[in-house]
Structure 1
Amino acid sequence: MKKIFIPILALTLLSTGCDVLDKNPLPSITPENFFTSADDAEAGLTAAYDALQGAGLYGQDMIVVGEMPSDNCTSANGDVAALENITWNSTTGQVRSIYRDSYIGINRANSILKYVPAIDMPEARKNQILGEARFLRALHFFNLVKLYGGVPLRLEPTETGTTEVLNLSRATVEAVYAQVIQDLTTAEPLVAASNATRVTQNAVNALLARVYLTQRQWAPAQAAAGKVLSGGALATSFKTLFPADNKSESIFEVQFAGSNDGGNILPDLLLPSPPATYSFPKFSIPTLYRPQASAQPTDLTFVVDTLSDKRWSFQGVTNAGRDHASYVDGGRGTGNDDGPFVYKWPGNPNGFNSPDNTYVLRYADVVLMYAEATNELSGPTADAIAKLNLIRQRAGLAELTSASPQAAGKQALRTEIDRQRRLELAFEGERWFDLLRYARHEQADPSANHAVTALDVIKAQRKTATADVNYLLFPIPLDELNTNLNVQQNPGY
């Protein structure tokens, strides 16, 4: 699915020829008369996948929002200052774009789910298309509920601008999660068992595991993750995972084809120049010590092992600088291009048109989810330790045993699992979401303790005596409030 062609449902039809003025005008394309054939169904599904590439989603903002507010990253770029300082409001660019682009993706999935069932085509392929559309809708709603709380649960395509359609009230958080789970459980038997570039049963179960983990439903999280782990394995080398390109450990990634589809703009936003096309303050700079920076106790500086951890140790010199797999030390002497930079999109940026894909789900993440759910269910079991050791050993770290300090009890292993998630998945857009769920875990279960939560970061960045819990959610964008009169703003905004 590397090359993506997008059907535009509302395009104007043009005809050519000497007698063009003598022809009757052709009707406009509408969802009702577009979805009439198997080819239309395939084109509609391609458009639904294409929505993931939007700058408000995995083409930029989902990754930036997943890292920039966290303790993993910093930046001198004004475009992300509100995220780093946790001063966002209802008009902040990323707050608006994620909400908007998520609903664009939802609307495309809804059109498929409404019209494709009536198309005369092979039933097996029809069911796969419907299952993939349900997965995509679930992914969008899951991202929305994590960031904004309860949102309007739009389950039909928005085809008119009437008041009845636009003014849809917010559903509860519980109702949104219920819909996400329903979509995923419905999708699982419909989608393919394997497909390198599309939604598969492993992708459905990996996302289900993440949803259940976010809700602190440990048993179903463990079960869903276990289905994925039963038929897979980690790649031998962490370094070979990047750039993402549908490799063995990939479960689901957003596909980019460079200039053929507009490409992925992340590498140019993250890398020093060269290889990035331009020199400017980058979006997400790792919080690794630089002489001109003031290191903080929560920074990566105090967590990573740049000598023996293969995810962070020196790998060699590239045109971007000194390669450490997860990050690269740039050193061009030009200010903007000195210091550490994210290096999980190491392909040629190609002028904001990189062909590098973006991981949404990969096998190591599922291993860590399984270990976490197992530990929360029954403490530091041999099973949980064994799964965590898969991650540690690939990184070149010593194997843990039940006698290891990191596995001395549920709390000790919880801390180590948190730490390995941070080290393994750094810069892949998960750290802030992990910190959010750690905060909510502690709120729901006072006996639980995480070394760092979103509330710790909120307090530090906003420089307040106590953390403002309102910043565990984004505000509803002002655009939505102005358009949808039934939507109320989140508290504190």
Structure 2
Amino acid sequence: MLLNSLFSMRKQTLGLGAALLTLGLLSGCGEEYLDLQPRNAVSTEVFYNTQTDAIQATTAAYSQLQKDGLYGHSLWAMDIMADNSFVGGGGAADGIEFQQLDNFTIPASNPVITPLWQRTYLGIGAANQVLARVPAIEMDADIKNRCLGEAAFLRALYYFYLVRSFGDVPLVLTPAASASEVANVTRTPEAEVYTQIVKDLQDAIIKLEKFPTYTGENAGRAGSLSAMALLAKVYLTQGDMANAAKQARLTITASTAAGKMLNPNYGDNFNVDKENGPESLFEVQYKSGQNAYTTDGPGSAINEFWGARFYTDTTTAALKALGYVVSGGGYGFNVPEKEFVEGYEAGDLRKAVTIFVPGDKYPAGQTQPGSLEGNPNGFTVRKFFAGTLSTIWDSPLNVPVLRLAEVYLILAEADPTSADGLSGINLVRRRAGLPALTTVTKEAVLKERRYELAFEMDRWFDLKRTNTLVNNPELIKKGIKPFNDKLPIPQAERDVNPSLTQNPGY
């Protein structure tokens, strides 16, 4: 798998502020990312010489997706800042960084927002190194195209997170020769950033034509289907419904030709034994047993942080002896909102896959209680539950980024009056055990996305792009303000670069 290659990368130390200027834009790959032989510093000029170098550098560009600033921590906020969940944990003083986001009292120094900015730019820096240096390497033409296509996809994906979160952001497309070159970068208008994202994805689709998807040791790499699906989502986010529908249809056709299909069982998308399966178009790869107590390792911390908080079933001696339901006890973060849980349609099979409700049985036999500390209703996220593991903060369960089901929903939203748009949403609903719709409305698709993609870290982005964020009744109760459709530019970055202007309201 792709993830096995990531294990050879050297763990890096990330400082605040300087990450954008030095690590993210300047160093990219090279010695900061790769465990090379010999183990002393290797300059980029020496490193980028062989096909193996090119593959290693490309693999390195994936690593930020796993880590603290993205799926390892920061992106958890995209359900908490929306209406799917609240922080939970041990109360108001616990997880204060997420409490600030949940209550829309977000300082520019928020420690969830800062790594979201920094880690995406580290990923962009790594992709820029590949795109700048791999073309000159003498190597197999197909593998060269694969490396360049993957890097273009990843750069587009990282910028997609940035532009949706912060609005205007610096658009940097080449590695800097010195820190001074990026010391005063300014923010680029959103429209220009989106133009580059589209260009990168179109380039990736062409270069990855021979690599629609992967199996074996390359499972987890981005193929042409990944780029096609992301492009459809980008068009949808821009409100370009004609191109979103066209791209969704192309993706569905190409996916079918490549043997892709909806998993008959919705839960198989979140089964560690069935990862990178027939519905998967791209997912963040995780593997346990390498290290513990880090949100920057190859294992996922979700199982521990989202697990029922320090819960042991004491109803019988046998159940008490089983101990906690997750390895370290569980911290009880990202608690499903009561309104969200009550919004499931009767008979929706996704509910039992997505959440634990009071009375549910755990695999070892424990029963979900009616309430937990910081969680008065007893709901916890089940979708990424992995049980007790030998190491802490270290789940092997991947996180889907793009699934074929979402492409069907993109088509339904972009072309709601078409027969295949209606068919697409009904394919998703029938799998969930729900009756077919006779017409498609914006509200119906948004609700379907809410329950199909719950806790896959996309809800805040969905509310924002559909102009239903700042007027959402559940979020108005929490104190959302009109300017909260963007996050603050991290103060640490503005301290080292005064040319970065702040978003209004922060």
* Residues 1:323 and 1:123: Cα distance change in structure 2 (over 3 Å): farther
**Paired position in structure 2 for 1:438:** 466
Q: How does 1:49-448 map to 2 (within 5 A)?
A: 49-62=62-75, 64-77=76-89, 78-79=94-95, 80-162=98-180, 164-191=181-208, 192-195=211-214, 196-230=219-253, 231=256, 232-243=260-271, 245-260=275-290, 262-272=298-308, 273=311, 274-279=324-329, 281-288=331-338, 299-305=339-345, 307-313=346-352, 322=360, 330-331=368-369, 335=373, 339-348=378-387, 350=389, 351-375=392-416, 380-401=417-438, 407=439, 413-439=441-467
**Paired position in structure 2 for 1:456:** 472
Offset at residue 253 of structure 1 (A): 0.3
Secondary structure of 2:498's match?
coil
Stretch of structure 1 that moved more, 70-79 or 390-399:
70-79
Q: Does 1:485 align with 2:484?
A: no
CA contact (8 A) 2:31 2:41 kept: yes
Offset at residue 382 of structure 1 (A): 2.8
* Residues 1:212 and 1:279: Cα distance change in structure 2 (over 3 Å): same
2:460 and 2:356 mapped to 1: Cα distance? 30
2:31 and 2:351 mapped to 1: Cα distance? 49
**Paired position in structure 1 for 2:7:** 5
Amino acid at match of 1:399: A
1:219 and 1:114 mapped to 2: Cα distance? 33
Offset at residue 383 of structure 1 (A): 2.6
Unaligned runs of 5+ in 1: 17-25, 289-298, 402-406, 440-451
Residues 40-83 of structure 1 show CA distances to partners (whole Å, capped at 9, x for unaligned) of 11111121111211111112212x12211111101233321012
2:300 and 2:247 mapped to 1: Cα distance? 31
2:500 and 2:220 mapped to 1: Cα distance? 37
2:373 and 2:35 mapped to 1: Cα distance? 51
Residues 240-263 of structure 1 show CA distances to partners (whole Å, capped at 9, x for unaligned) of 221361111110001111123531
TM-score (norm 1): 0.83
Amino acid at match of 2:3: K
Secondary structure of 1:188's match?
helix
Offset at residue 133 of structure 1 (A): 0.4
Offset at residue 323 of structure 1 (A): 6.0
Stretch of structure 1 that moved more, 274-283 or 153-162:
274-283
Residues 392-411 of structure 1 show CA distances to partners (whole Å, capped at 9, x for unaligned) of 1111111223xxxxx2xx6x
* Residues 1:333 and 1:419: Cα distance change in structure 2 (over 3 Å): closer
* Residues 1:324 and 1:107: Cα distance change in structure 2 (over 3 Å): same
The total of aligned residue pairs comes to 440
**Paired position in structure 2 for 1:444:** none
* Residues 1:122 and 1:321: Cα distance change in structure 2 (over 3 Å): farther
Offset at residue 2 of structure 1 (A): 3.3
* Residues 1:84 and 1:161: Cα distance change in structure 2 (over 3 Å): same
User: What value does the CA root-mean-square deviation take over the aligned residues?
Assistant: 2.9
The sequence identity of aligned pairs, in percent, is 32
* Residues 1:315 and 1:372: Cα distance change in structure 2 (over 3 Å): closer
Secondary structure of 2:457's match?
coil
Offset at residue 313 of structure 1 (A): 4.6
Stretch of structure 1 that moved more, 347-356 or 179-188:
347-356
Secondary structure of 2:378's match?
strand
2:52 and 2:343 mapped to 1: Cα distance? 51
CA contact (8 A) 1:13 1:28 kept: no
* Residues 1:276 and 1:308: Cα distance change in structure 2 (over 3 Å): same
Amino acid at match of 2:85: C
Secondary structure of 2:194's match?
helix
1:205 and 1:315 mapped to 2: Cα distance? 27
Offset at residue 30 of structure 1 (A): 1.2
1:263 and 1:358 mapped to 2: Cα distance? 11
CA contact (8 A) 1:329 1:339 kept: no
CA contact (8 A) 1:67 1:73 kept: yes
2:118 and 2:133 mapped to 1: Cα distance? 23
1:385 and 1:14 mapped to 2: Cα distance? 52
Amino acid at match of 2:299: G
Secondary structure of 1:346's match?
coil
Offset at residue 479 of structure 1 (A): 1.1
1:34 and 1:322 mapped to 2: Cα distance? 54
2:334 and 2:450 mapped to 1: Cα distance? 15
Secondary structure of 1:96's match?
helix
Residues 173-227 of structure 1 show CA distances to partners (whole Å, capped at 9, x for unaligned) of 0110011001000110112122132111111011001110000000111111112
1:280 and 1:358 mapped to 2: Cα distance? 19
Greater C-alpha radius of gyration: 1
Residues 332-374 of structure 1 show CA distances to partners (whole Å, capped at 9, x for unaligned) of 9763687111111122463111111011101111110110001
Amino acid at match of 1:221: A
1:309 and 1:190 mapped to 2: Cα distance? 40
2:207 and 2:388 mapped to 1: Cα distance? 36
Offset at residue 31 of structure 1 (A): 1.1
* Residues 1:252 and 1:314: Cα distance change in structure 2 (over 3 Å): closer
**Paired position in structure 2 for 1:31:** 44
**Paired position in structure 1 for 2:13:** none
Secondary structure of 2:424's match?
helix
2:371 and 2:77 mapped to 1: Cα distance? 29
Residues 383-429 of structure 1 show CA distances to partners (whole Å, capped at 9, x for unaligned) of 3221111111111111223xxxxx2xx6xx22111111111111111
CA contact (8 A) 1:6 1:46 kept: no
Give the alignment partner of residue 475 of structure 1, picking from 464, 488, 494: 488
Amino acid at match of 1:384: G
